[in-house]
Amino acid sequence: MDNSSIYGLINWRFPALKKAVSNGPLVHLKDLIATSDAEFRGKKEALHYAEARYFCMYLQKKGVLSKFYRLFRDSSKESPSGGKFLVELLGKGMDEVEKDWLAWAARLKNNE
């Protein structure tokens, strides 16, 4: 990691993610990335933020977060949710991406 990059770390949203991964209810990744701003900020806002943060950390660990962001930023009219780019970058369907992400999230510890 260099000093010119932002690098996400575990924060106070972690317990909400761990609870949702272990006991539910978890918002499916394909639904989360397709939510409108109003839906995202609705009654499940805290869970949405926790899931989004740790999914970005997962992409960061995979080394594709910056590339995903650039693709999404430059082509959001083509793929408003960015799901197309996730599939391309990770070489997996959305269900498989979600399964891998949840396995990764389940292994996270507070001290990482």
**49-95 residue pLDDT tens:** 999 999 999 999 999 999 988 888 888 677 667 788 888 889 999 99
How many domains does the chain fold into?
A: 1
Q: How many residues comprise the chain?
A: 112
Q: Is 9 domain-assigned?
A: no
State pTM to two decimals: 0.86
Tell me: pLDDT of 98 over 90: yes
Q: Is 112 domain-assigned?
A: no
Pick from 58, 57, 47: which is nearest to 13 by CA? 47
Q: Is 100 domain-assigned?
A: yes
Phi (first) and psi of residue 52, to 5 degrees: -65, -45
Q: Is 26 domain-assigned?
A: yes
The alpha carbon torsion through 93, 97, 103, 106 (nearest 10 deg) reads -140
The proportion of the chain whose per-residue pLDDT surpasses 70, expressed as a percent, equals 89
Q: Is 64 domain-assigned?
A: yes
Print the domain residue range for 81: 14-107
Q: Is 2 domain-assigned?
A: no
Q: Is 4 domain-assigned?
A: no
Q: Is 43 domain-assigned?
A: yes
